[in-house]
Amino acid sequence: MLRGMTSKTNGRTPDPRAQAPTSDAPQAAAGARRWAVLAICCVAAALLGIDNSVLNYAVPSLARRLHPSSTQLLWIVDVYGFVLGGLLIVAGNLGDRIGRKKLLLAGVAGFGAASALTAYAGSPETLIAARALLGLAGATIMPSTLSLVRAAFTDPRERTTAIGVSSGVAAASFALGPVVGGLLLDHFWWGSVFLINVPVMALVLVAGVLVLPESRNPRPGRLDWASVPLSVAGLFGVIYAIKTAARDGAGSHAVWIAAAVGAVSLAAFFRRQTRIAEPLLELRLFRNAAFSGAIGANVVTMFTSSTLSLGFSLYFQVVRGWSPLTAGLALLPGPLSAAFAAPLCAVLIARIGRARTVAIGLALMAVSTVGLGMSGAHTGYAHLLPLLVLNGVGIIFTFSVTADTILASAPRTRTGAAAAISETAMELGGALGIAVLGSVLSAFYRSDLTLPEGLSGAQVSAARESVSGGVLTGAQVAGSTGQHVADAARQAFLDSLHATTVIAGAIMALGAAAALVSLRNVPAVLPEPQDGEGDTGHGGAGEASAARAGDGGQDRPVPAV
């Protein structure tokens, strides 16, 4: 540990004054204040989740008003995610250096202003720019909220509960997007779904100034500016290539150019991080078994669950013919059950340990995913509801434990960077899931689709493109032939959903087994690591505490150090 404490100071003895409460080792927020910190961070994170999913429901309305080209419309939808994913690592490091409260408040103010600009955008170009600003602000908010919660709760058990609650609220917020969007779009213009952010973010800004404690790295060192463009170009290029290939196929020159730029930039970035004394990305964090195991579990979860979300949005709206609002309400019990089950994670961790809790979460997701995938065109909602609830509980058992493990495994001076790594891995996992399993879903749909004779080449092509295209083509063809086309498209989609969810469930089951192995030595209660303790090559705080526990850390909590 002493080696780790001196390695980042170029051999100089650390200044004892750096441990003052105004640095990265603040006193725990007293009494109700720390729970107020949690509430503020939860509201900020929830708005990000809602905003991430609400745009899809506003697209038809804004397209009628602004008349964007097809290329502009794609950028309106995608630019938020591109900018957000590309800047997370830089933003997390910046928060560690200048202060996480300061960065969060700047992000909240920027998010509110960008939301107003988005709501009143008068042209596609303005809307694209506003959405890019929303992504920039979101990148500063995401890692800051988790870091501030981590700083406010220094008691390991309370910290686990707080991060579980934060994860539950974040999970629920994604499903609130369709509901909030549907309600607002039924009564107001498309910009209302963004304008609602402004007063909420104003309240968060005022409350944050008054309540949030500052937290930062007391010895941040200089920011390696050469690494910044490499990180941004690398992540932006890779995310752009994955998402574009998932939607348009991999044959586009733009996809290959973006993939090449991203791969080369990331290779140069990672090479540079191993050669400089003060890296932007602390790769030594991955030597910690708890940190790397939790990151891996998150990627598996996002890889598989993103496809389930896409598939069941199509199932409810296209196969069942429900409205977007009804479909959003139908899916809501899953994330709501996640929010309510979040506090149970701390109890479960104390009883059976982190590895088993994550494994149970992934196993519940595997069972519920396969069960939901077996749905037919007329399956009653009463049969789907328990599976949706089970899926939500599985998600929160996984995410709340991994989030707490990731943040608790990293030194307090690097929590912003650790949170940014976690969020970036989840962005990449979700994008890969849509690209890979989404392509599998489409391939099965095309292979299972049997169309009647008498259709034109254009009609066949449209019907084979997607289930939405098949149902729309059926509506345009007169008589029983049109009904046959629509029914064939729905049945082919159901068959493809069955096969794809079985694959996703198998991957989740493998992820559960991997979690039992990768997190087996992580104790139920993770103590506060000191500088350098979280980047050892032997599991860091996790394995050290497990050794003290004498039983692998699985069966009973370890006293905090």
**Residues 171-182 pLDDT 10s:** 777 777 778 877
Say if residue 404's pLDDT is above 60.
Answer: yes
Question: Which pLDDT score, from 0 to 100, does residue 528 have?
Answer: 59
3 state DSSP class of 17: helix
114-128, 215-229, 468-482 — most confident range: 114-128
- Position 16 scores a pLDDT of 39
Q: What is the pLDDT of residue 107?
A: 92
What would the two tokens of residue 160 be?
């686990």
Query: What is the sign, positive or negative, of the torsion defined by CA atoms of 355, 357, 360, 364?
Result: negative
pLDDT at 529: 56
Residues 113 and 69: their CA atoms lie apart, in Å, by: 26
Same-domain status, 275 and 332: no
User: What pLDDT score does 58 carry?
Assistant: 78
Q: Is the pLDDT of residue 548 over 50?
A: no
Predicted local distance difference test score (pLDDT) of residue 15:
41
User: What's the pLDDT tens digit per position in 293-318?
Assistant: 888 888 888 888 877 777 887 888 88
Residues 413 and 520 in one domain: yes
* Residue that is written with structure tokens 């080209």 in the block: 69
Residues 96 and 233 in one domain: no
Q: In sequence order, what DSSP letters do the residues of 33-94 get, joined into one string?
A: HHHHHHHHHHHHHHHHHHHHHHHHHHHHHHHHHH---HHHHHHHHHHHHHHHHHHHHHHHHH
**Is the pLDDT assigned to residue 454 strictly greater than 50?**
yes
- Statement to judge: residues 228 and 151 lie in one domain: no
**CA-based diameter of the chain, in Å?**
84
How many other C-beta atoms lie within 10 A of the C-beta of residue 381? 12
Q: Is residue 559 domain-resident? A: no
202 and 293 share a domain?
no
Residue 433 has pLDDT above 70, yes or no: yes
The last residue of one of the domains, among 279, 304, 320, is 279
pLDDT attached to residue 399: 85
In terms of phi and psi (left: phi > 0; alpha: psi -120 to 50; beta: otherwise), the region of 224 is: beta
User: Does residue 420 have a pLDDT over 70?
Assistant: yes
Tell me, yes or no, whether 256 and 303 share the same domain.
no
Show Cβ contacts of residue 266 under 8 Å, excluding neighbours closer than 6 positions.
230, 234, 235, 238
| 170 and 71 inside one domain | yes
Q: Are residues 176 and 254 in the same domain?
A: no
Q: Which residues contact 379 (CB under 8 A, 6 or more apart)?
A: none
pLDDT higher than 90, residue 206: yes
Flag whether pLDDT at 386 surpasses 90: yes
pLDDT of residue 13: 41
> What's the predicted TM-score (pTM) here?
0.76
**Position 378 pLDDT exceeds 80:** yes
Does residue 277 sit in helix, strand or coil?
coil
Yes or no: say if 246 and 435 are a contact pair by the CB < 8 Å rule. Answer: yes
pLDDT at 527: 65
pLDDT of 547 reads: 36
User: In the 8-state DSSP scheme, what is residue 9?
Assistant: T
One domain, residues 185 and 254: no
Cα 418 to Cα 194, 246, 286, 425, 534: the distances in Å are: 29, 28, 10, 11, 11
* Chain-centre distance for alpha carbon 357: 20
| Distance in angstroms (rounded) separating the CA atoms of residues 142 and 232 | 16
Q: Is the pLDDT of residue 502 over 90?
A: yes
Report if residue 463 sits inside a domain.
Answer: no
Name the E strands within 439-536: none
pLDDT at 31: 59
Checking if the pLDDT of 8 tops 50, the result is no
Question: What is the CATH number for 53?
Answer: 1.20.1250.20
Cα–Cα dist 14/252, whole Å = 53
Residue-number span of the structural domain to which 243 is assigned: 224-279
Q: Is residue 8 assigned to a domain?
A: no
In a domain, 462, yes or no: no
State how many domains the chain has: 3
Minimum mean pLDDT among 92-96, 332-336, 378-382, 521-525: which range? 521-525
Which among 285, 237, 262, 287 has a CA at the least distance from the CA of 96?
285
Residues 507 and 373 in one domain: yes
pLDDT at 550 over 50: no
Between residues 557 and 438, the one the model is more confident about = 438
5 inside domain? no
- Residues 488-521: b if buried by 16+ CB within 10 A, e if exposed: bbbbbbbebbbbbbebbbebbbebbebbbebbbb
- List CB contacts of 73: < 8 A, sequence separation 6 or more: 59, 63, 124
Are 245 and 193 in a shared domain?
Answer: no
- Residue 262, in any domain of the structure: yes
The b/e string for 402-436 (b: 16+ C-beta within 10 A; e otherwise) is: bbbbbbbbbbbbbbbbbbbbbbbbbbbbbbbbbbb
**367 vs 213 pLDDT, higher one:** 367
Residue finishing a domain among 202, 222, 242: 222
Greatest mean pLDDT range, 15-19, 239-243, 293-297, 405-409: 293-297
Alpha carbon 550 to its chain's center: 35
Compute the distance between CA of residue 303 and CA of residue 435 in angstroms, rounded to an integer. 9
The separation between CA 321 and the C-alpha centre of its own chain, rounded to angstroms, equals 29
Answer whether 177's CB lies under 8 Å from 49's CB: yes
In a domain, 2, yes or no: no
Q: What percent of the chain has pLDDT over 90?
A: 17
487 C-beta neighbours (distance < 10 Å), count: 14
Residue 465 lies in a domain: no
Per mean pLDDT, which range of 311-320, 391-400, 425-434, 549-558 is the poorest?
549-558
* Statement to judge: residues 215 and 258 lie in one domain: no
pLDDT at 537 over 80: no
Q: Which two tokens stand for residue 366?
A: 């595997």
Average pLDDT over residues 214-230: 77
Mean pLDDT of the region 85-89 = 83
User: Which of 408, 337, 359, 436 has its CA nearest to residue 162?
Assistant: 408
pLDDT tens for each residue of 34-78: 888 888 988 888 888 887 777 777 777 787 888 888 778 778 877
**Highest mean pLDDT range out of 56-65, 142-151, 485-494?**
485-494
Question: 277 CB contacts (<8 Å, ≥6 apart)?
Answer: 8, 10, 221
